[in-house]
């Protein structure tokens, strides 16, 4: 595991609940009270930034989040591609499945790609 002193950012990992839509399909439910949250110590860094000015003025950023496989209370966490991450007023979507990183003998940490769009 990564020492906590090297993970200075406290983030909120949000998992959606599920509900049934009018066609009987199970869909993600992001309404208050339906989601679950995990407080996680992490390292976040922005990898790319771009502006989309074609039809609107949007700021798009891709970030990397590195975290241990446990939350701040020591409970195991699982991060899915449909999850959201919140940090310092920014809301991120997880891009694809998180990448597990291993030492030669065990699972070590997650490397999670994030995306944020403003505007």
Query: Which tokens belong to 78?
Result: 């699982």
CB 9 within 8 A of CB 87: yes
**pLDDT tens digits along 20-43:** 999 999 999 999 999 999 999 999
Q: Where are the beta strands (DSSP E) in 30-118?
A: 36-52, 58-67, 84-87, 90-94, 99-102, 107-118
Instruction: Kindly report, residue by residue over 74-93, the tens digit of the pLDDT.
Output: 999 989 998 999 999 999 99
Q: What is the pLDDT of residues 104-117, one digit of tens each?
A: 999 999 999 999 87
Q: Read off the pTM.
A: 0.86
- Of the two residues 50 and 12, the one the predictor is more confident about is 12
Supply the pLDDT for residue 11. Answer: 98
Please report which confidence band the pLDDT of residue 61 belongs to, taking 50, 70 and 90 as the band edges.
confident
Q: What is the pLDDT of residue 48?
A: 79
């Amino acid at each position: 595991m990564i020492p906590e002193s090297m993970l200075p950012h406290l983030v909120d990992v949000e998992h959606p609940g599920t509900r049934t839509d009018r066609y009987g399909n199970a869909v993600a439910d992001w309404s208050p009270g339906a989601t679950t949250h995990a407080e996680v110590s992490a390292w976040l860094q922005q990898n790319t930034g771009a502006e989309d000015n074609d039809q609107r003025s949007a700021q798009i950023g891709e970030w990397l989040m590195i975290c241990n496989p446990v939350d701040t209370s020591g409970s195991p966490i699982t991060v899915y591609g449909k999850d959201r991450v919140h940090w310092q007023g920014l809301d991120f979507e997880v891009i694809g499945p998180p990448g597990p990183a291993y030492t030669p003998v065990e699972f070590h940490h997650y490397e999670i790609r994030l995306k944020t769009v403003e505007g």
